[in-house]
């Protein structure tokens, strides 16, 4: 299905809108000597409008067999350039290099050595645009057709993969796909930049990430280049202080960018879910995809977890007959390609989860569909269950055996699967706190200027002890509690202001006598460690519409419902379940003035303290909805 929306050109962007994920050139060199087994060539491949895209091809020297193509298209560059320089690794894992594929890497339109202009999240062209209209789908199609026509010794099949923006390119290749495209694996692709991916979460602006990425990458392209821009110099290692002293978002241009970063300017002009953001949403185009798809995500991905999950859910709804598989492991953004996955931060997963995924899932998937290897028999969902530290396979996601249960907030910071029942004399039962934009709750205890990744699984004790964080906690669990599927926050709230953010985090609290990991060079003691499992922010003015925000009515109880996103986790016996509610997550999320204004043009005077209330009565039972598996 083609949209009638047209995307404007953004020649100012030099890389991508997502955190740069190193390609496998960064991986350790496999035992295979690639120079002895592959011939490298560089080509300019013409597209239907005459623009030529720079492409590097590695072909097996062994000509006794025919090989499938494995394609990766990226705006991040495809080094090393030059016919005599070889990558350290060609495929998504070393197994691909050893078995033999025709590996194809391409600088997308307008990036590095390719011609043309780059457009961020370019959607498919409208159906009436004519035969020379181009988009990422047509560039993908034309590249495949050229490969089939101009390379020898292939078997006529193509597979495609990519992580982050290359994952988005993989999704675009799935739309109006070339018939030779037989298998796709989009990994951590973004899907909607206002709802859940890089630039916003539920309408709340991801300040720290947007500032760091755009300040480095969103510069006017002056010609073909292999160089990347220098990182922004903050003048301090303390990002919290830097962004707090920055003040309102309007000061970014006055103090640092001087209106020289066009995409930042675009963002400041589009503070709601208008056509600017809607046209970049990939999900409406996911129709008619007939070839098998392997969707890959990481539970602790700070950039693009919403993207792969929403792509999977949309395909299941729109194309129920498609051979679509979901794989999720305990990884940060792209960690399955560059880490062994045995641990993250201070949490040990007790096995090399990335190696399992590479050898038992990804490699067999492509081998089966591109080389007729035996069917690996992958079920609908292959997910790593944290806590229990085991891989699980299900016939659907969420699992049919996962039953919805409610985890309610109670007095004295209690958390229970039992709903509040007691009548309240003289009014409503609630917990309250003062949210001060001048003293926002930090997202991490680390001193850093960029968000990094480990905060997604960080010890939350630094936040639990703040007066502007409301904490609810179960008693010591007498048996394991296993959840699988989405986590929905349903809050009944009120405020003295006219807007507010609400951040909800669910946390696994380890026993007090939990043994410390060995070795543990940081010296962190793991007893009562509060491991962040999932968290999400919701900007309350968007509660009824992301396109038409509405102020909160001071003092009026309002229901907010939002998704903390999926998890597969076991809270072990002797652990506790904890929930945080707060109204800032700084500077990962920009500060809400707590007055109903256009935040991108807000003044210092617009930022006001406000009292927020979280209700927990039988009439207004704030809670989380979990899907629990009884084992």
pLDDT at 14 over 50: no
Closest alpha carbon to 384 in 479, 298, 486: 298
For residue 93, what are the CA distances in angstroms to 23, 26, 34, 338, 351?
11, 12, 14, 9, 18
What CA–CA distance (Å, rounded) separates 442 from 466? 10
The model's pLDDT over 309-331, given as tens digits with 9 standing for 90+, comes to: 999 999 999 998 889 999 999 99
Q: Cα–Cα distance between 539 and 554 in angstroms, integer?
A: 16
pLDDT mean over 160-187: 97
Place of tokens 């039962």: 429
Pairing of strands 402-409, 415-416: antiparallel
Q: Looking up tokens 């969902």, which residue turns up?
A: 381
Mean pLDDT of 137-155: 97
User: Residue 520 has what pLDDT?
Assistant: 57
- Rounded Cα–Cα distance for residues 71 and 73 (Å): 7
Question: What's the CA gap between 528 and 476, in Å, rounded?
Answer: 11
Question: How confident is residue 510, by pLDDT bands cut at 50, 70 and 90?
Answer: very high
Residue 522: is its pLDDT beyond 70? Answer: no
Kindly state the helix (H) or strand (E) to which residue 625 belongs, with its residue range. strand 623-629
Which residues are registered as beta bridge partners of 568?
A: 484
Query: From the CA atom positions of the chain, what is the Rg in Å?
Result: 25
Q: What is the pLDDT of residue 319?
A: 93
Listed residue (620, 468, 624) closest to 559, CA to CA:
620
Q: What angle do CA 588, 592, 597 make, to 5 degrees?
A: 140
Q: Is the pLDDT of residue 2 over 60?
A: no
With cut-offs at 50, 70 and 90, classify the pLDDT of residue 132. Answer: confident
Match 């098998």 to its residue by tokens.
292
**Do 500 and 565 form a contact (C-beta atoms < 8 A)?**
no
* Percent of the chain residues topping a pLDDT of 70: 91
Nearest by Cα to 455 from 557, 297, 351, 585? 585
Give residue-wise pLDDT tens across range 241-275: 999 999 999 999 999 998 888 889 999 999 999 99
Q: Report the pLDDT value the prediction gives residue 228, as an integer from 0 to 100.
A: 59
How far apart, in whole angstroms, are the C-alpha atoms of residue 346 and residue 171? 34
Burial status of residue 478 (CB atoms within 10 A of its CB: 0-12, 13-18, 19 or more): exposed
For residue 9, pLDDT beyond 50: no
Q: How does the average pLDDT of the chain come out, rounded? A: 92
Q: What is the mean pLDDT of residues 51-77?
A: 97
User: What pLDDT band is residue 22 in, cutting at 50, 70 and 90?
Assistant: very low
3-state helix, strand, coil in the chain (%, to 5): 20, 25, 50
C-alpha angle 195-384-333 in degrees, rounded to nearest 5: 45
Q: Which CATH number is 24-192+280-394 given?
A: 3.40.50.1820
Does pLDDT of 569 surpass 80? yes
Question: Pairing mode, if any, of strands 623-629 and 67-74?
Answer: unpaired
Residues 499-503, mean pLDDT to the nearest whole number: 98
Give the per-residue pLDDT at 126. Answer: 83
Contact by Cβ (8 Å): 479, 602: no
Distance CA 43, CA 54 (A): 6
Looking at residue 364, its pLDDT comes to: 98
The pLDDT value recorded for residue 360 is 97
26: confidence class by pLDDT, cuts 50, 70, 90: very low
Q: What is the pLDDT of residues 588-609, one digit of tens each?
A: 999 999 999 999 999 999 999 9
When pLDDT is cut at 50, 70 and 90, the band that residue 459 belongs to is very high
In the chain, where the domains are located:
24-192+280-394, 402-629
Of 23-32, 232-241, 288-297, 588-597, least confident by mean pLDDT is 23-32
Tell me if 194 sits within 8 A of 538, measured CB to CB: no
Q: Which residues pair with 570 in a beta bridge?
A: 482
Position 192 scores a pLDDT of: 96
Mean pLDDT of 99-123: 92
| pLDDT for residue 12 | 33
Class (C level, CATH) for 402-629: mainly beta
- pLDDT class for 220, splitting at 50, 70, 90? low
Query: Would you say 503 and 515 are in contact if contact means Cβ atoms under 8 Å apart?
Result: no
Predicted confidence band of residue 15 (pLDDT cuts 50, 70, 90): very low
Average pLDDT over residues 231-247: 96
In this prediction, residue 631 carries a pLDDT of 86
Looking at per-residue confidence, does 523 or 560 come out higher? 560
What pLDDT is stored for residue 193 in this prediction?
94
pTM for this entry: 0.93
According to the model, what pLDDT value does residue 408 have? 98
- Give the least confident one: 10-19, 373-382, 532-541, 571-580: 10-19
């Amino acid at each position: 299905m083609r949209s009638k929306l047209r995307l404007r050109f953004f020649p100012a962007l030099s890389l991508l809108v997502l955190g740069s994920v190193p390609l496998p050139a960064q991986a350790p060199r496999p035992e295979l000597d690639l120079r002895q087994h592959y011939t490298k060539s560089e080509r300019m491949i013409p597209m239907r409008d005459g623009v030529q895209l720079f492409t590097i091809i590695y072909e097996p020297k062994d000509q006794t067999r025919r090989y499938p193509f494995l394609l990766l298209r990226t705006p991040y560059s495809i080094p090393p350039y030059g016919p005599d320089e070889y990558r350290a690794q060609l495929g998504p894992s070393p197994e691909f290099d050893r078995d033999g594929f025709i590996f194809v890497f391409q600088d997308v339109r307008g990036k590095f050595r390719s011609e043309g202009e780059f457009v961020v999240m370019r959607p498919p062209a409208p159906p009436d645009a004519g035969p020379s209209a181009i988009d990422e789908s047509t560039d993908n199609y034309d590249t495949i057709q050229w490969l089939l026509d101009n390379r020898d010794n292939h078997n006529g099949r193509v597979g495609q993969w990519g992580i982050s923006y290359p994952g988005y390119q993989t999704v675009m290749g799935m739309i109006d796909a070339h018939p030779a495209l037989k298998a796709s694996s989009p990994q951590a692709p973004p899907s909607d930049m206002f709802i859940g991916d890089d630039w916003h979460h539920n309408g709340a602006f991801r300040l720290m990430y947007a500032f760091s990425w755009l300040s480095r990458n969103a510069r006017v392209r002056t010609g073909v280049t292999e160089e990347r821009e220098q990182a922004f110099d903050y003048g301090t290692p303390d990002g919290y202080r830097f962004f707090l002293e920055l003040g309102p978002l309007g000061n970014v241009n006055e103090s640092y960018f001087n209106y020289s970063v066009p995409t930042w300017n675009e963002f400041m002009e589009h503070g709601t879910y208008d056509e600017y953001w809607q046209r970049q949403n990939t999900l409406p185009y996911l129709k008619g995809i007939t070839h098998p798809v392997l969707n890959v995500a990481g539970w602790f991905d700070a950039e693009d977890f919403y993207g792969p999950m929403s792509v999977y859910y949309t395909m299941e709804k729109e194309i129920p007959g498609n051979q679509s598989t979901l794989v999720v492991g305990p990884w940060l953004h792209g960690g399955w390609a560059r880490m062994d996955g045995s641990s993250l931060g201070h949490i040990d997963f007790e096995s090399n989860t990335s190696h399992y995924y590479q050898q038992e899932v990804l490699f067999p998937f492509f081998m089966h569909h591109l080389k007729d290897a035996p069917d690996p028999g992958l079920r609908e969902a292959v997910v790593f269950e944290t806590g229990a530290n085991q891989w699980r396979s299900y016939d659907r996601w969420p699992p049919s055996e996962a039953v919805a249960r409610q985890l309610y907030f109670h007095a004295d910071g209690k958390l229970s699967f039992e709903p509040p029942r007691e009548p309240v004399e003289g009014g409503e039962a609630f917990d309250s706190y003062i949210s001060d934009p001048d003293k926002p709750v930090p997202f991490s205890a680390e001193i850093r200027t960029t968000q990094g990744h480990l905060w997604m699984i960080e010890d939350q004790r630094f936040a639990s002890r703040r007066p502007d964080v409301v904490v609810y906690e179960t008693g010591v669990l007498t048996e394991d509690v296993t959840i699988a599927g989405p986590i929905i926050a349903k809050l009944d709230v009120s405020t003295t202001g006219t807007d507010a953010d609400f951040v909800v985090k669910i946390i696994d609290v380890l026993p007090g006598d939990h043994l410390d990991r060995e070795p543990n060079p940081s010296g962190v003691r793991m007893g009562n460690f509060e491991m962040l499992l999932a968290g999400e922010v919701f900007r309350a003015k968007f509660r009824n519409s992301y396109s038409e925000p509405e102020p909160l009515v001071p003092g009026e109880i309002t229901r907010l419902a939002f998704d903390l996103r999926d998890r597969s986790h076991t809270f072990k016996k002797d652990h506790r379940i904890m929930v945080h509610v707060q109204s800032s997550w700084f500077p990962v999320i920009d500060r809400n003035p707590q007055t109903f204004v256009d935040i991108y043009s807000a003044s210092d005077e617009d930022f006001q303290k406000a009292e927020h209330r979280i209700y927990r009565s039988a009439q207004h039972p704030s809670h989380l909805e979990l899907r629990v598996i009884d084992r």
